[in-house]
Amino acid sequence: MSGRDGGRLPAIVRRVLEPFVDRSVAERVLISLAAILLSIGVGFAIVLVSGRIAQCSTAAWTMPVTGLGFCYDPIEVYVVLFNGALGYPFAVGEPGIFNAAWTPFNLSFGLTLSETTLLVFTGLSVAVAFRAGLFNIGTQGQLVVGALATALTVLAIAPLLPAGPIAGVVVVAVGTLAGAVGGGLWGAIPGALKAYADANEVITTIMLNFVAANVAYVLVLEVFRAEGSSVVATRYVPEYAQFRPWLFPNSSDFALLALLVAVGFIGGLYYAVEHTPFGYDLRTSGVQAAAAEYGGVNAKLTTVRAMTLSGALGGVGGAVWVLMSEGRWIESVPDLGFDGITVSILAGNNPLGVLPAAFLFGLLKGGALEIGFRTDVPTELVGVLRGLIILFVAMPEFFRMAGRYAGLGSDGPGGPGTSGTGGEDGESEASGDAAGSGSDAAAVGGGEADA
């Protein structure tokens, strides 16, 4: 093959590297970053405006030049948010100065990582369905079911084994598996409904979220409620059957092991999606269903499989929530499933992007608590930021337009850059070809409907 560089990397290496050099992935990353920045900007404005309206005795921040006083200091909010979520690696009030007493194993950072870990699972759950062209809004319900399955399974088998670390490993493994099975089955329902009854999965998964929450609640309320409990919750699982918080403070509810498991899942899922025949079928169904069918992919089966896998990942998220965070199933299940949608979208539905995206939302969660402690700004601000990020990530066209406006031309953050890999020689070749087959090119360019 002429015209191609001689010292080429082996195909597998290029495959692995491709996502990082691929221009569409680069564009995705740029858009995600821009969306985050824009959300922070809008959040800044919201803090300012509400700080102007709110009542307070002394101004927390005075706008330069104008001298207008505001009750909330928007800069402080963000400093506290991100610094606080990490446990103050920088000295408070003096940004840029390293805090000598800081260690990574602090409570706030633990909380951040705990949230990150849980969001990795729900983010992967949404991502894998997305890649198959399915919009799984039901990760929340799958997580609830998986969590209950885990709690009940662990409570059932723990007494059968002698207490101890070995039993702990077995029980945790079986419990996690139970979560995967429970979530997987719950996810298979909308998958099957989609495949065999053509029921829109967006609607059915939303509905199944409510059903899961309500049924699980009633089940625990009526059957599995711990005696004497003031809330609707099961009994606690034995401590040896939980993910233990090594290094981090107990109250952070964070186990490094769980995060490692999560990272393992990311790697595994990335490999499965990108480098296996199953992943090829899944992705192809997602981007071009008709071509997948042509290529021998069983569309119905792939739909059910993808939803089952997605549900199983949500269920594992539920298992980790029980075995790491709560130690039991409790009615107030956090919105991890919905946040998973946000994480997945921010990650461009790429398993590798799920980790940074989950970490960002972990930061927001950890930082929210600090905002509550340290500032007068309501912590609900973080919820607003979450919504804004998802809104902005949803509109890549906006950033492409902005990029073009800013004079970046087609090389802008969104432009399908003409200087991309292989694009240059592609262009010259293509134009030569167009000249050779004038009628064909005209058919494409001129939009002959029958071409």
Partner 1 sequence: MRNPLADVPVPLLDDLIDDEYVRSLVVGVVGTLGLLGLFGLLFPGSVAGDLAGIVFSTSTAASTARLAAPIVLAGLGGIFAEKSGVINIGLEGLLIISAFASVYVASVVGIGNAVLGIPAIWIGFMAGIAASTLLAGVFGVVCIEFKADQIIAGLAVWLIALGLAPFMSTVFFGGVNTPNLGANVGWRYSAVMVVVATVASWWALNRTAFGKHLEASGENPKALDTVGVSVSRVRYAGVLLSGVLSGVGGSALALSIGQFVGSGETMVQGKGFIAIVAYLFGNYNPLGTLGAGVLFAGLDAIQIRLQQLGYAVPDTLVQTIPYVVVIVVLALVGRTRLPAAAGDHYETEE
Partner 2 sequence: MNPAVHLDGITKRFPGVVANDDVDLEIERGSVHALLGENGAGKTTLMNVLYGLYRPTEGTVVVDGEPRSFASPRDAIDAGIGMIHQHFMLVDPMTVWENVVLGNEPRTWGGLRVDEATAREAVVELSERYGFDVDPDARIADVSVGVQQRVEILKALYRGADVLIMDEPTAVLTPQEVEELYDVFEELTDQGKTIIFISHKLGEALSAADEITVLRDGVKVGTVASADVTREELAEMMVGREVLMEPATTPREPGERVLEVTDLHVEDDRGVEAVSGISFELREGEVLGIAGVDGNGQSQLAEAITGMREPASGSVDYFGEPMAGVSRREHIDRGMAFVPEDRHERGLVMSYDLVQNGILGSQHDPPFASGGRIDWNASTEHAESVIEAYDVRPPNPDADAEDFSGGNQQKFIVGREFERDPDLVVAAHPTRGVDIGSTEFLHDRLLELRAEGKAVLLVSSKLDEVQGLSDRLAVIHEGEFSGVVDPATVTEEEIGLLMAGETLDDETVSGAAIHDAVDDGLDGSGADGADGTGDPDDAGGSDRETATDEEVGA
Of partner 2, partner 1, none, which one sits near residue 101, judging by CB under 5 to 8 A according to partner kind? none
- Return the amino acid letter for 11: A
399 secondary structure, DSSP code: H
Q: How many residues bind partner 2 (CB under 8 A)?
A: 54
Kindly give, in sequence order, each residue whose CB lies less than 8 Å from that of residue 104, ignoring residues fewer than 6 positions away. 87
The length of the chain is 451
Contact 155, 225 (CB under 8 A): no
412 secondary structure, DSSP code: S
Contact 116, 358 (CB under 8 A): yes
- Return the amino acid letter for 141: G
Q: At which residue do the structure tokens 């691929």 appear?
A: 22
- Binding residue (CB under 8 A) for partner 2 from 230, 277, 332, 405: 277
Contact 259, 113 (CB under 8 A): yes
Of partner 2, partner 1, none, which one sits near residue 12, judging by CB under 5 to 8 A according to partner kind? partner 2
Between residues 51 and 168, which has the closer beta carbon with respect to partner 1?
A: 51
Residue 3 found at the interface with partner 2 (CB under 8 A)? yes
Question: Taking contact as CB under 8 A, which single stretch among the options 61-69, 165-173, 176-184, 216-224 is the one that binds partner 1?
Answer: 216-224
- Binding residue (CB under 8 A) for partner 1 from 12, 58, 100, 222: 222
Distance CA(343)–CA(120), nearest Å, equals 8
Cα 128–Cα 132–Cα 137 angle in degrees, nearest 5: 60
Residue 294 found at the interface with partner 2 (CB under 8 A)? yes
Locate 408 and state its tokens: 């970046």
Of partner 2, partner 1, none, which one sits near residue 352, judging by CB under 5 to 8 A according to partner kind? none
Of partner 1, partner 2, none, which one sits near residue 433, judging by CB under 5 to 8 A according to partner kind? partner 2
Distance CA(107)–CA(119), nearest Å, equals 18
Q: In the bound complex, what is the minimum distance in angstroms from residue 397's beta carbon to partner 2?
A: 17
* Contact flags string 165-204 toward partner 1, x per CB under 8 A: ----------------------------x---xxxx-xxx
Question: Taking contact as CB under 8 A, which single stretch among the options 41-49, 167-175, 401-409, 438-446 is the one that binds partner 2?
Answer: 438-446
Distance CA(253)–CA(273), nearest Å, equals 31
- Binding residue (CB under 8 A) for partner 1 from 29, 40, 177, 215: 215
Residue 239 found at the interface with partner 2 (CB under 8 A)? no
* Contact flags string 296-335 toward partner 2, x per CB under 8 A: xxx-------------------------------------
- Binding residue (CB under 8 A) for partner 2 from 95, 387, 409, 423: 423
Other C-beta atoms lying within 10 Å of the C-beta of residue 182: 29
CA 378 to chain CA centroid, Å, is 24
End-to-end alpha carbon distance in the chain: 31
Phi-psi map region of 118: left, alpha, beta (phi>0 left; psi -120 to 50 alpha): alpha
Distances (CA, A) of 81 to 111, 176, 354, 369: 13, 33, 21, 8
Question: Taking contact as CB under 8 A, which single stretch among the options 46-54, 62-70, 105-113, 156-164 is the one that binds partner 1?
Answer: 46-54
Residue 281 found at the interface with partner 2 (CB under 8 A)? yes
Question: Taking contact as CB under 8 A, which single stretch among the options 101-109, 161-169, 373-381, 437-445 is the one that binds partner 2?
Answer: 437-445
- Binding residue (CB under 8 A) for partner 2 from 44, 236, 280, 398: 280
Query: Rounded to 5 degrees, what are φ and ψ at 343?
Result: -60, -45
Handedness of CA 195, 196, 199, 203 (dihedral sign): negative
Interface residues toward partner 2, by CB under 8 A = 1-4, 10-12, 14-15, 271, 275-277, 280-281, 284, 287-288, 290-298, 421-423, 425-426, 429-434, 436-451
Interface residues toward partner 1, by CB under 8 A = 46, 50, 53-54, 135, 137, 193, 197-200, 202-204, 206-208, 210-211, 214-215, 217-218, 221-222, 338, 341-342, 345, 378, 380-388, 390-391, 393-395, 397-398, 401
